[in-house]
Amino acid sequence: MEKIQIFDTTLRDGEQSPGASMDVEQKLEIALQLEQLGVDVIESGFPVSSPEQFRACKLISENVKNSTIAALARSTEKDIDAAADSIGKAARSRIHTFVSTSPIHREFKLKKTPQEVIEMTRKAVRYARNRCAEVEFSPEDATRTELDFLCKVLEVAIEEGATILNIPDTVGYTVPDEYAQLITTIRNRVPNIDKAILSVHCHNDLGLAVANTISALNAGARQAEVTINGIGERAGNAALEEVVMALNVRKDILGLETGINTRQLYTTSRMLSTMIGFPIPRNKAIVGENAFAHESGIHQHGMLSHRETYEIMTPQSVGRDTTRIVLGRHSGMHGFRKRLAELNIIINEEELKRAYEAFLKVADRKKEIFDEDLFTIVSEQFGTTTGSLVLEYLQFHSGNTSVPTATVRIKDQQEIYEEASTGDGPVDAAFRAIERALDITATLIEYNVQAVTPGKQAMGETSVIIEIDGRRATGRGSSTDIVEASAKAFVNAISRYRLLQEVVHP
Ligand SMILES: CC(=O)SCCNC(=O)CCNC(=O)[C@H](O)C(C)(C)COP(=O)(O)OP(=O)(O)OC[C@H]1O[C@@H](n2cnc3c(N)ncnc32)[C@H](O)[C@@H]1OP(=O)(O)O
Ligand SMILES: CC(C)C(=O)C(=O)O
């Protein structure tokens, strides 16, 4: 196995995605998580660009101990000084400097001749090398650069002391075979290439960033520049979690490994997604909601017979709980039977067939069938009573000089239950009134309230766990009024308890 260095640029290229900006403390939090993940190099930012960027790079350098800290710089002394000054305190630091090399960038962006670009490269790498022991150089837009010229620029960068040469596919233009060929050619043509490590940095404009990265690593590149969740300019960069798991799962043919603790992948992905407010698509590889979920009957049957029929890695290997067998309109009898058994709903084969038919009717109308739906389906078929409870009416009164009081009206398919009670506060009064109305005593085991929408009119969501006669049930309720949300959650939990009583064997 040969080792691939993982260079994470979430905090630099990733942060360049519109909407992904993080403040200094957030960047530090991500950097510390990247260190936990086992990333070899953390590109902490582009320090010349603002005082806050500079501060973030500095703070990260002072706090991260086990990863090299890199900072980006154009080929100017001012940028290189900012990079060197910001990361100087890191245990291991690296200046990453770059110059555009492609004709279109040279002519229209830099307005420089090829010879001038070579001189910019020479001076920048030399200057950076005087300020930092480790220098990485990137010829920006390498994949649209004339091959001879590209090789010349790389040769000069190595002469001046760059030990990591990055070959960026800046605009996501290349395809896997072409990119592998480019890496092979550079390895064969640049005379001093043995003094440097080749790195790859792929953008996803054609959805090929991960494929191109793997192809280049297979051709001899030994550093991959990647971001968590694939965030980055435009369509993003190659996703760290996808590259790492591709190398891991296919080590049989690639013979490459990384130092990443793959069990930290999911946590890292969720942390970033929540922090910057970029939701992860359900079908995203490795970390998406559906990556280890199976709804179709044939797949569920296969999975229940042998996990590897439809999964090439375990959810645990990337830090997730378990495979999910999701019930929906595509599910078959095997998956349905298994879920009922897991819920302790024991019915005979004849009843199972009837329940499955009822399930399919609901599944045709509903995207996903939750456990609660299963209880309802089965209890409607074989239960004896009542259906779900609904809180129809809630009135409460409280204040700092009066005794909190609540009145409730609850109904099921057969009856209406009404009662009133006092309590230690409005929520307690509502819970006691509900218990009285339903003639039940429930112990409140857990009670959580959270705002699910922002602002003064926020929707509050309440969840409770109650215990009745040694059996627990959960309930949820939401409303702009927190007492109402709580009462709904309590009624919902009692309702689930009643369904459980009807269909679950002790
Ligand atoms: C491919 C990449 O991802 S490269 C990284 C891109 N990231 C960013 O740009 C984010 C941070 N950038 C910034 O904060 C700002 O753009 C700064 C501070 C770097 C520069 O800001 P400004 O001085 O106002 O210049 P502006 O961004 O408008 O234009 C870029 C300038 O850099 C020059 N430039 C671009 N790349 C390089 C380079 N590698 N070396 C030297 N100069 C360069 C351009 O020619 C242009 O020069 P000009 O001002 O003389 O015309
Ligand atoms: C600075 C370089 C590596 C870059 O981000 C790119 O070319 O995409």
pLDDT in tens, 10-21: 999 999 999 999
Q: What's the average model confidence in pLDDT over 43-66? A: 98
Q: How far is residue 395's CA from residue 273's CA, in Å, rounded to a whole number?
A: 40
Exposure string over 448-472, b if 16+ CB within 10 A, otherwise e: eeeeeeeeeeeebbbbbbbbbeeee
Q: How confident is the model at residue 231 (pLDDT cuts 50, 70, 90)?
A: very high
- Residues in the ligand 2 pocket, defined by CB under 6 Å: 13, 98, 138, 140, 166, 168, 170, 201, 203
Q: Check: CB of residue 236 under 8 Å from CB of residue 207.
A: no
Q: Which atom of ligand 2 is nearest to the CA of 225?
A: 3
- CA of residue 110 to ligand 1 center, whole Å: 10
- Stretch(es) of the chain classified as CATH 3.20.20.70: 2-276
Torsion of CA 235, 238, 242, 244, to 10 degrees: -170
- CA of residue 272 to ligand 2 center, whole Å: 21
- CA of residue 226 to ligand 1 center, whole Å: 22
**Residue with the nearest Cα to atom 2 of ligand 2?**
140
**Residue with the nearest Cα to atom 26 of ligand 1?**
49
The predicted-structure confidence for 479-495, as pLDDT tens digits, reads as follows 889 999 999 999 988 98
- Stretch(es) of the chain classified as CATH 3.30.160.270: 390-503
The predicted-structure confidence for 34-44, as pLDDT tens digits, reads as follows 999 999 999 99
User: What integer best gives the mean pLDDT of the chain?
Assistant: 93
Q: pTM of the entire structure?
A: 0.81
The predicted-structure confidence for 69-97, as pLDDT tens digits, reads as follows 999 999 999 999 999 999 999 999 999 99
Q: So what's the pLDDT on residue 463?
A: 87
- List the one residue out of 88, 92, 182, 87 whose CA is nearest residue 139: 182
The predicted-structure confidence for 97-153, as pLDDT tens digits, reads as follows 999 999 999 999 999 999 999 999 999 999 999 999 999 999 999 999 999 999 999
Q: So what's the pLDDT on residue 505?
A: 56
Q: How far is residue 6's CA from residue 228's CA, in Å, rounded to a whole number?
A: 11
Q: So what's the pLDDT on residue 499?
A: 76
Q: Measured between alpha carbons, how far is residue 266 from residues 155, 283, 287, 335, 386 in Å?
A: 40, 14, 6, 26, 42
Query: Thinking of the domain 390-503, which architecture would CATH place it in?
Result: 2-Layer Sandwich (3.30)
Q: So what's the pLDDT on residue 383?
A: 59
Q: What's the average model confidence in pLDDT over 287-305? A: 96
- CA of residue 356 to ligand 2 center, whole Å: 55
**Residue with the nearest Cα to atom 39 of ligand 1?**
99
**Residue with the nearest Cα to atom 48 of ligand 1?**
110
Q: Which atom of ligand 1 is nearest to the CA of 170?
A: 1
Which residue has better confidence, 474 or 66? 66
- Least confident span in 68-72, 95-99, 175-179, 414-418: 414-418
Amino acid (1-letter code) at residue 269: S
Amino acid (1-letter code) at residue 475: G
Q: What's the average model confidence in pLDDT over 351-371? A: 88
Q: Which atom of ligand 1 is nearest to the CA of 168?
A: 1
- CA of residue 179 to ligand 1 center, whole Å: 26
Say which ligand is closest to the CA of 21: 1
**Residue with the nearest Cα to atom 14 of ligand 1?**
49
Q: Which atom of ligand 2 is nearest to the CA of 171?
A: 8
Say which ligand is closest to the CA of 165: 2
Say which ligand is closest to the CA of 124: 1
Q: Is the CB of 46 under 6 A from ligand 1?
A: yes
Q: How confident is the model at residue 400 (pLDDT cuts 50, 70, 90)?
A: confident
Structure tokens at 285: 């590889």
The predicted-structure confidence for 156-172, as pLDDT tens digits, reads as follows 999 999 999 999 999 99
Contacts of 140 (CB under 8 A, 6+ apart): 98, 99, 100, 101, 102, 105, 168, 170
Q: Is the CB of 119 under 6 A from ligand 1?
A: no
Mutate to test the pocket of ligand 1, among 7, 11, 49, 233 (most ligand atoms within 8 A of CB): 49
Q: Which atom of ligand 2 is nearest to the CA of 72?
A: 1
CATH number, domain 2-276, options 3.30.430.20, 3.20.20.70, 3.40.50.300, 3.30.360.10? 3.20.20.70
Q: Check: CB of residue 54 under 8 Å from CB of residue 268.
A: no
Which residue has better confidence, 348 or 407? 407
3-state helix, strand, coil in the chain (%, to 5): 45, 20, 30
- SS3 assignment, position 118: helix
Q: What percent of the chain has pLDDT over 70?
A: 96
- CA of residue 121 to ligand 2 center, whole Å: 15
Q: Which residues make up each annotated binding site for Mn(2+)?
A: 13, 201, 203, 237
Q: Is the pLDDT of residue 459 over 80?
A: no
Is 407 exposed, middle or buried (CB count within 10 Å of its CB: 0-12, 13-18, 19+)? Answer: middle
For residue 411, which phi and psi values (nearest 5 degrees)? Answer: -135, 155
Q: What's the average model confidence in pLDDT over 406-423? A: 94
Q: How confident is the model at residue 454 (pLDDT cuts 50, 70, 90)?
A: low
Q: So what's the pLDDT on residue 504?
A: 63
Characterize the bridge pairing of strands 416-422 and 443-451. unpaired
Q: So what's the pLDDT on residue 506?
A: 52
Q: Which residues make up each annotated binding site?
A: 13, 201, 203, 237
- Least confident span in 38-52, 231-245, 385-399: 385-399
Q: Is the CB of 127 under 6 A from ligand 1?
A: no
Q: How confident is the model at residue 53 (pLDDT cuts 50, 70, 90)?
A: very high
Q: What's the average model confidence in pLDDT over 427-454? A: 91
Q: So what's the pLDDT on residue 471?
A: 80
- CA of residue 167 to ligand 1 center, whole Å: 19
Q: Is the pLDDT of residue 344 over 80?
A: no
- CA of residue 168 to ligand 2 center, whole Å: 6
Q: How far is residue 3's CA from residue 8's CA, in Å, rounded to a whole number?
A: 16
Q: So what's the pLDDT on residue 425?
A: 95
- SS3 assignment, position 474: strand
Q: Which atom of ligand 1 is nearest to the CA of 124?
A: 40
Q: So what's the pLDDT on residue 386?
A: 54
Q: Is the pLDDT of residue 384 over 60?
A: no
Characterize the bridge pairing of strands 460-468 and 471-479. antiparallel
Q: How confident is the model at residue 303 (pLDDT cuts 50, 70, 90)?
A: very high
Mutate to test the pocket of ligand 1, among 43, 44, 46 (most ligand atoms within 8 A of CB): 46
Q: Is the CB of 75 under 6 A from ligand 1?
A: yes
**Residue with the nearest Cα to atom 13 of ligand 1?**
49
Cβ count within 10 A of residue 189: 15
Q: What's the average model confidence in pLDDT over 276-281? A: 95
